[in-house]
Structure 1
Amino acid sequence: MSEATANKTYPSIVGGKEVYNEEEGIPVNDASNELLHKFSHLSLSTESINNLVKNAKEGFQEWSSVPTDEKVKIFSRTRELLEERRDDIRESHLEIGGPGWFANFNVDGTIDQLQEYTNQLSRSPGTVVQSPHNDLALTLKQPIGPVLSISPWNAPVILAGRSILAPLAAGCSVIHKSSEKSPRSSYLLVKCFLDAGVPPKALQLVHIKPEDNASFTEFVLKSGVIKKVNFTGSTLVGRKIAETCGKYLVPYLLELGGKNLSIVLSDANLDKAAGAILFGAWAHRGQICMSTDKVFVDESIYDQLKGKLIEVAGELTKDRDHQLSQRDVLGRDKVVDLVEDALQKGATLVYGKFDKDVILKSNVIEPMILEGADSSMSIYTQESFGPVFTLHKFKDVEDVIAEINDHDYGLKGSVWSTNIVKALYIAKKLEIGGVHINAPTVSDEATVPHGGVKSSGVGRFNSHWGIDEFSIVKAITINE
């Protein structure tokens, strides 16, 4: 990291102006606790909040009135700027511990999202509907209004990008709250949009002290200006945001945690399944909301698949990208506690090693596979958000379906079988937002809806589903 970057303080951007707090910037450190840069948090004074939401209201009126062809030009220019500034944006991901391939995916994925939302701008805004009591009846899709968008640090570019793009594409103004662990990524991304021509009041960026996050959300929603919230992050925080939204009758889109799973049937291609399962579990150190946590394996091929997983794992872990160098001590401790609890209650390590003292000293968690986990263990139901997954043997897949549907979470699943009809039957029965047949649980494309059910959230990002989340349907009837 260059000295210039380390000494830089990233401001909030309110009404197109960079805003620095009089207080000293809040430091952002890497996994080794070295200073990366600082950010200037927004004051929660009445004047500051009122100015922020007033801008959002005015920005909505302006942006929602911009002709479609002009929006297309602005989005196209944003894409050009993302390409031109790729190195800086990529570095903002690398510096917080992301592997190179995932940093590239974040930039490329955001560009893909931008292109897909640009394509969707030409959609018809409404339809003519049947009405026996009127001469003519129409429906129009219109933007819902100013939106508060909150994204996490683990995939800071693509998650911030979609949280901004979906409402902007619908015609809404956006207040984007960055993660305190990745403010630079949000700053660079928002600058691309603003420099491309998004009106300064239509997109604003705020950095908030971690301890002030709940108060900020409360104050902004209390104003009555915000018409929808989108949040990606933990289920715990998502529930709190939903409670605040309910208090003020503000709708929300939540993409939360997942206890994601794979089901491997007896006729599966085990070579393909083994590699994909390990990728789904260990990619980006397991710090993806879609990461595989549990693998259910038909008893007739359990030992065979376990052997292949161990073999492939040995090759994969030569690349230290799969190790978790945890910037979040609470996150590190959660993984340690889950594994320790499982081992103490009878689970065993299939692959990897667990030494609590070494982990706490080095801050590094190496990839692990466990078997023998049961419902007495916390890891059985809790998302680990680390490079750890558990293996489970089954005799009847119907029992697996029933167990999965009893889980609190429902974000991603995968089914492995050469009998596609049977795999499709299972996919349809699972109470999960997305199921991938013969593919990893980690799968997100700009043209495919993404989101969960139950404790994994509500609503969908991507393509026209994302736009519809930030639109209202207005009925208009006409008579002579």
Structure 2
Amino acid sequence: MSTPLTVDPAARPAPAFLTGPAKKLLIDGAWTSARSGETFETFDPATGKALTSVASAGAEDVDRAVAAARRAFEAPSWAAITPYRRSRVLLQIADVLEAHAEELAVLDSLDMGGPLWMTRWLVDHSVEVLRHYAGWPTKIYGQTAPSDPSAFHYTLRQPLGVVGAITAWNGPVLQLAWKLGPALATGNTVVAKPAEWSPLSALRIGELLLETDLPHGVVNIVTGGATTGEALTGHREVDKISFTGSLAVGKRILEVSSKDLKRVTLELGGKSPTIVFDDADLEAAAKGAVAGFAQGSGEGCVAGSRIFVQESVRERFRELLLREMKAYTLGDPFHPETRMGPLASPQHFQRVSSYLDIAREEGGTLETAGGSEGLYMPPTLIENVGADARVVGEEIFGPVAALMTFTDADDAIAQGNDTIYGLSASVWTTNLERAHRTASGLRAGTVWINAYADMSAGTVPFGGFKQSGIGREHGIEVLDAYTETKTVMVHL
């Protein structure tokens, strides 16, 4: 592999947000230090240098944030305002994020290593998401029900209360927008906890929220690690947890939240299949398949990390895969020719690297588009492994995929479903009947046909089958995740 592309340190962005003392917690519209005084550093994975220090919230800080959110919920300044005003505030939030889109994209690239072209797209998409949800407050309807003439029966949709929004490190702005949008549109208040590895854009968004008409306490932001998350998940005054992250943490959240039967939405991991039939446009399929596991350095829940190709076209498709893998240039997130940045942290790089060793131990052979350097890892294809291999069954969360074959549609569906996960899948074929049949048979929350990672700004639901999660984000279904239905029966 050629040396990763670099950028002159003097030319790398240096947002003013990173200067000054440690970043604080946003509680009830004010910035405050953790009561313990503890902080942690967040690092730039491209350089290994510390970016800034951030407050580490303890249980007492979470108490303060939840109390602020509860006061804001019970006051008439948010849930009880007209839906038109709530829509206007959401549009203000979208506008202020759009006005600072470049800064937010830069912060995410610095914090988690994503190429700037990618983080720009994620921020732009987040603005679209918030504008989508700005339309919901005026369209949350109850129903009337048939009843005896002496009675009037109807239902109301009412907000849950305080929502704990916990996001992962691999798409900070996007994931926060996906949670703030529906929570605020339905009249809830929020305590957000960004991931410890990438908290900066969430904190900057907190500053931007203070420039809008959003009442104080409606959105609070607490930063920290597992202790912070545990305190938020187990807090008795939190009515719902919306979490994006790993399966292990999702199971822990479900366990802790069950003590008081919180509402829970979990968007967890995946081991998504890419299925390529012999009649597919193989060049387009190869581009889509490599994007499926290499784009974003493979650090995505929808990563297409199991590639199944029909036996008759295996060799031709393999050649195209290897060619496309070489096109993924590694480099500094701010170099214009970079397609893949570094992995997010030394710990994560070590974890992904360990799976390459496991693949060799399991008898697999590796084809890679170069060698590793620093935290950079090139796209890597694993062959000669079966369904029982750990690298096939476990989520790696890096630019690594296994290549396997299938015989016919039934075999492709069976192998695609042979996983504990069920988040997404990608099917490549020019046969309409085959496409619909395969999509119907796959147990996955989203199936793309002749595409990969086509994400909506809120119009269709997103979520997983099996251990890829519980509930849905987006779509009409999201209303059920953030509201309660109340029945009112009136005697006339």
Does TM, normalized by the shorter one, top 0.5? yes
Correspondence for 1:160:
176
Question: Partner of 2:59: helix, strand, or coil?
Answer: coil
1:260–1:90 CA distance, 2 compared to 1 (3 A):
same
Task: For residue 211 of structure 1, report the CA deviation from its aligned partner.
Answer: 4.6
Are the equivalent residues in 2 in contact too, given 1:285–1:323 (CA < 8 A)? yes
Of 54, 72, 78, 1:59 maps to 72
Are the equivalent residues in 2 in contact too, given 1:131–1:137 (CA < 8 A)? yes
For residues 447 and 385 of structure 1, the distance between their equivalents in structure 2, rounded to whole angstroms, comes to: 27
Q: Bigger CA drift: 393-402 or 147-156?
A: 393-402
Correspondence for 1:28:
42
For residues 370 and 324 of structure 1, the distance between their equivalents in structure 2, rounded to whole angstroms, comes to: 21
> What amino acid maps onto 1:342 in structure 2?
A
Correspondence for 1:144:
160
Matched, 1:417 2:429: yes
Task: For residue 321 of structure 1, report the CA deviation from its aligned partner.
Answer: 3.7
Are the equivalent residues in 1 in contact too, given 2:426–2:450 (CA < 8 A)? yes
Question: Partner of 1:126: helix, strand, or coil?
Answer: coil
For residues 163 and 72 of structure 1, the distance between their equivalents in structure 2, rounded to whole angstroms, comes to: 16
Question: Partner of 2:138: helix, strand, or coil?
Answer: coil
For residues 237 and 140 of structure 2, the distance between their equivalents in structure 1, rounded to whole angstroms, comes to: 27
Q: Which runs of 5+ in 1 are unaligned?
A: none
Matched, 1:232 2:248: no
Correspondence for 1:369:
381
> What amino acid maps onto 2:375 in structure 1?
N
1:84–1:402 CA distance, 2 compared to 1 (3 A):
same
For residues 478 and 209 of structure 2, the distance between their equivalents in structure 1, rounded to whole angstroms, comes to: 18
Q: Which runs of 5+ in 2 are unaligned?
A: 1-12, 332-336
Of 135, 144, 150, 1:119 maps to 135
Q: Bigger CA drift: 328-337 or 12-21?
A: 328-337
> What amino acid maps onto 1:349 in structure 2?
L
Q: Bigger CA drift: 142-151 or 401-410?
A: 401-410
Are the equivalent residues in 2 in contact too, given 1:153–1:181 (CA < 8 A)? yes
Are the equivalent residues in 1 in contact too, given 2:245–2:268 (CA < 8 A)? yes
Are the equivalent residues in 2 in contact too, given 1:227–1:251 (CA < 8 A)? yes
Correspondence for 1:259:
271
What is the total number of aligned residue pairs between the two structures?
469
Matched, 1:38 2:21: no
For residues 212 and 356 of structure 2, the distance between their equivalents in structure 1, rounded to whole angstroms, comes to: 47
For residues 68 and 447 of structure 2, the distance between their equivalents in structure 1, rounded to whole angstroms, comes to: 41
Q: Bigger CA drift: 159-168 or 226-235?
A: 159-168
Identity of aligned residues (%): 27
Correspondence for 1:451:
463
1:19-418 alignment, distance < 5 Å = 19-21=32-34, 23=37, 25-31=39-45, 32-45=47-60, 48-62=61-75, 63-96=78-111, 97-131=113-147, 135-208=151-224, 210-217=225-232, 221-222=234-235, 224-317=236-329, 321-323=338-340, 325-353=342-370, 359=372, 362-418=374-430
Task: For residue 132 of structure 1, report the CA deviation from its aligned partner.
Answer: 5.8
Question: Partner of 2:221: helix, strand, or coil?
Answer: strand
1:475–1:379 CA distance, 2 compared to 1 (3 A):
same
Task: For residue 106 of structure 1, report the CA deviation from its aligned partner.
Answer: 1.7
> What amino acid maps onto 1:114 in structure 2?
L
Task: For residue 54 of structure 1, report the CA deviation from its aligned partner.
Answer: 2.1
Per-residue CA distance 1:47-104 (angstroms, 9 max, x = gap) = x444322212111123111111111221121122112222221111121211112111
For residues 320 and 482 of structure 2, the distance between their equivalents in structure 1, rounded to whole angstroms, comes to: 45
Per-residue CA distance 1:100-127 (angstroms, 9 max, x = gap) = 1211112111111111101222214212
1:477–1:282 CA distance, 2 compared to 1 (3 A):
same
> What amino acid maps onto 2:379 in structure 1?
P
Per-residue CA distance 1:289-337 (angstroms, 9 max, x = gap) = 1111011111111112112212222233477744452232332122112
For residues 400 and 294 of structure 1, the distance between their equivalents in structure 2, rounded to whole angstroms, comes to: 11
Greater helix fraction, Structure 1 or Structure 2: 1
- TM-score, L = length of structure 2: 0.90
Q: Bigger CA drift: 69-78 or 371-380?
A: 371-380
Are the equivalent residues in 2 in contact too, given 1:352–1:366 (CA < 8 A)? yes
Question: Partner of 1:410: helix, strand, or coil?
Answer: coil
Task: For residue 272 of structure 1, report the CA deviation from its aligned partner.
Answer: 1.4
Are the equivalent residues in 1 in contact too, given 2:57–2:228 (CA < 8 A)? no
Correspondence for 2:447:
435
For residues 186 and 3 of structure 1, the distance between their equivalents in structure 2, rounded to whole angstroms, comes to: 14
Per-residue CA distance 1:259-312 (angstroms, 9 max, x = gap) = 011111121111211111111211111111111101111111111211221222
For residues 279 and 264 of structure 2, the distance between their equivalents in structure 1, rounded to whole angstroms, comes to: 41
Task: For residue 392 of structure 1, report the CA deviation from its aligned partner.
Answer: 0.7
1:321–1:444 CA distance, 2 compared to 1 (3 A):
farther
Of 24, 48, 58, 1:11 maps to 24
- TM-score, L = length of structure 1: 0.92
Q: Bigger CA drift: 127-136 or 61-70?
A: 127-136
Q: Bigger CA drift: 311-320 or 396-405?
A: 311-320
Per-residue CA distance 1:183-213 (angstroms, 9 max, x = gap) = 21111123333321111111111112x2523
Q: Bigger CA drift: 113-122 or 51-60?
A: 51-60
Are the equivalent residues in 2 in contact too, given 1:371–1:391 (CA < 8 A)? yes
Correspondence for 2:9:
none
